């Protein structure tokens, strides 16, 4: 098994986001924290969203000496009213040049074991909350000619056993991303999806997930997991002038996992 802590060589100028603002959901852990810290290192004023205040506070402590800044709002992104209000506060404070819809997740189960309530929970978190956040951020994104990065999954165009609800939600997000890339192109707003392969974070830390890691790495042609830093660097790239004409895309950062046998969270035939 090869679990990666690969840190990409920085390619962006240190002060590239000075004077700019961002919102990152799920900034208290894993991929979202790495993105928030990389943006702070590049001079951005970042607001983090997430439910756990203590986790967000830890990110704030890690960002304390960085050129940018990190503030946070503890909220559930499924609470549209709270989300709208927090987005407006962040936008009024420092503008929104970049919105990263990263908060997300699901449980792993065959479709036959997903109740309607379980389905609705996962769709609400991974699709509807992305719509709400992006819509709330629109006036600020328009003012800044900003960018949106939606954290998706590798292989959403091919299917992943055990992830029926989540793949359906992320495929919906890709449709939303492409539609808004057209509707908002005239405003100078760009929207893209990033599809990481397997990333070893708290989200994949339970015993069952750890046992799956070997097979996930084996299904990855480049033979290793994706590091949080790699996802962070690509997010920053998409927000930078280097990404100025990139919009409406799904960029898979997965060592070709989407071209291999697929990343499956359960075995086929476990439907009963």
Ligand X SMILES: CCC/C=C/C(=O)SCCNC(=O)CCNC(=O)[C@H](O)C(C)(C)COP(=O)([O-])OP(=O)([O-])OC[C@H]1O[C@@H](n2cnc3c(N)ncnc32)[C@H](O)[C@@H]1OP(=O)([O-])[O-]
Nearer to ligand NDP, 55 or 148 (CB): 55
One of 111, 202, 208, 242 touching ligand NDP (CB under 6 A): 202
122 sits near ligand X (criterion: CB under 6 A): yes
81 sits near ligand X (criterion: CB under 6 A): no
One of 4, 20, 136, 198 touching ligand NDP (CB under 6 A): 198
Strand order in the sheet with 21-25: 69-74, 45-50, 21-25, 98-101, 147-151, 190-196, 249-253
Restricted to residues 179-208, the positions that interact with ligand X (CB under 6 A) are 198, 203-204
State the binding partner of 107 from ligand X, ligand NDP, none, CB within 5 to 8 A by kind: ligand X
Query: Do the Cβ atoms of 235 and 35 come closer than 8 Å?
Result: yes
Q: Which stretch binds ligand X (CB under 6 A): 3-11, 84-92, 100-108, 231-239?
A: 100-108
Query: Do the Cβ atoms of 227 and 118 come closer than 8 Å?
Result: no
Distances (CA, A) of 250 to 170, 177, 181, 233: 11, 9, 12, 16
- Tokens 């950062």 belong to 253
Shortest reach from residue 158's CB to ligand NDP, in Å: 14
Closest CA to 104 of 129, 80, 82: 129
Which string of b and e fits 74-99 if b means at least 16 CB within 10 Å? bbebeebeebeebbeebbeebbbbbb
201 sits near ligand NDP (criterion: CB under 6 A): yes
State the binding partner of 117 from ligand NDP, ligand X, none, CB within 5 to 8 A by kind: ligand X
Rounded to whole angstroms, the Cα distance separating 151 from 153 reads 7
Rounded to whole angstroms, the Cα distance separating 30 from 94 reads 24
State the binding partner of 122 from ligand X, ligand NDP, none, CB within 5 to 8 A by kind: ligand X
Restricted to residues 20-59, the positions that interact with ligand NDP (CB under 6 A) are 25-26, 28-32, 49-52, 55
Which token pair is 232? 């962070």
167 sits near ligand X (criterion: CB under 6 A): no
* Residues engaged in binding ligand NDP (CB under 6 A): 25-26, 28-32, 49-52, 55, 76-78, 102-105, 125, 151, 153, 196, 198-199, 201-204
């Amino acid at each position: 098994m090869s679990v990666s802590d690969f840190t990409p060589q920085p390619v962006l100028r240190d002060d590239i986001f000075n004077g700019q603002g961002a919102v990152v959901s799920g900034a208290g852990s894993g991929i979202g924290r790495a993105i928030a810290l990389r943006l702070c290192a590049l001079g951005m004023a970042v607001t983090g969203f997430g439910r756990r205040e203590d986790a967000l506070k830890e990110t704030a402590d890690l960002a304390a000496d960085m050129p940018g800044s990190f503030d946070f709002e503890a909220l559930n992104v499924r609470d549209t009213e709270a989300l709208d209000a927090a987005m407006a506060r962040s936008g009024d404070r420092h503008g929104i040049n970049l919105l990263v819809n990263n908060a997300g997740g699901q449980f792993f189960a065959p479709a036959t074991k997903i109740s309607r309530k379980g389905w609705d929970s996962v769709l609400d978190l991974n699709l509807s909350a992305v719509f709400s956040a992006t819509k709330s951020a629109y006036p600020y994104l328009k003012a800044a000619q900003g960018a949106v990065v939606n954290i998706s999954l590798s292989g959403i165009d091919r299917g992943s056993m055990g992830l029926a609800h989540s793949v359906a939600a992320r495929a919906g997000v890709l449709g939303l991303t492409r539609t808004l890339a057209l509707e908002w192109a005239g405003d100078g707003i760009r929207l893209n999806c990033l599809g990481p392969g397997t990333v070893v974070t708290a989200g994949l830390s339970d015993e069952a997930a750890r046992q799956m890691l070997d097979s996930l790495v084996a299904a990855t042609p480049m033979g290793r997991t994706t590091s949080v830093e790699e996802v962070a660097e690509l997010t920053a790239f998409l927000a930078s002038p280097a990404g100025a004409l990139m919009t409406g895309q799904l960029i898979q950062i997965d060592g070709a996992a989407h071209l291999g046998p697929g990343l499956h969270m359960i075995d086929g035939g476990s439907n009963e």
